[in-house]
Amino acid sequence: MASEGKDLQLVRQYRQLVEDYEAVDGRIDSLIMSNRGKSEDMSADDRRLYRELARNRSEILNEMRLLERQLNLMEDDAPGAE
C-alpha cells in the first residue's frame, strides 16, 4: 500500500515535470520565432535568455528521465534503455 502511494507521488511529480518542460519549450519556441526563427538574429539579452531556458529545459528533461527509470517507464527497445 505504501508503495502505491509512493508511485502515485512519483507519477504526479512526473506529470508536473512534463508540464514544466512543455512550458519552457514553448517559451524557447516563442523566443526563436520572435527572432524570425534564427538564433543568429537574437540580441545579446535574447541569447542569454535562450541559453538559460535551454539549460532549464535540459535539467527538467534529466529529472524526467530519472523518474522514468524509477517508474519503469523506459521501454526495452527505447534509445538509452538498459
Sorted by sequence, the CB contacts under 8 Å of residue 65 that are 6+ apart come out as 80
Question: What's the rounded Cα separation, in Å, for the pair 57 and 47?
Answer: 15
Is residue 48 domain-resident? Answer: yes
* pTM exceeds 0.85: no
Is residue 1 domain-resident? Answer: no
Tell me the per-residue pLDDT of 31-78, one tens digit each, with 9 for 90 and over.
999 998 887 889 999 999 999 999 999 999 999 999 999 888 755 545
Is residue 35 domain-resident? Answer: yes
Q: Which domain holds residue 66?
A: 17-70
Asked if 64 contacts 18 with a C-beta cutoff of 8 angstroms, the reply is yes
Is residue 3 domain-resident? Answer: no
Q: Return the percent helix, strand and coil in the chain, to nearest 5.
A: 75, 0, 25
Is residue 7 domain-resident? Answer: no
Question: What's the rounded Cα separation, in Å, for the pair 40 and 21?
Answer: 24
State how many domains the chain has: 1
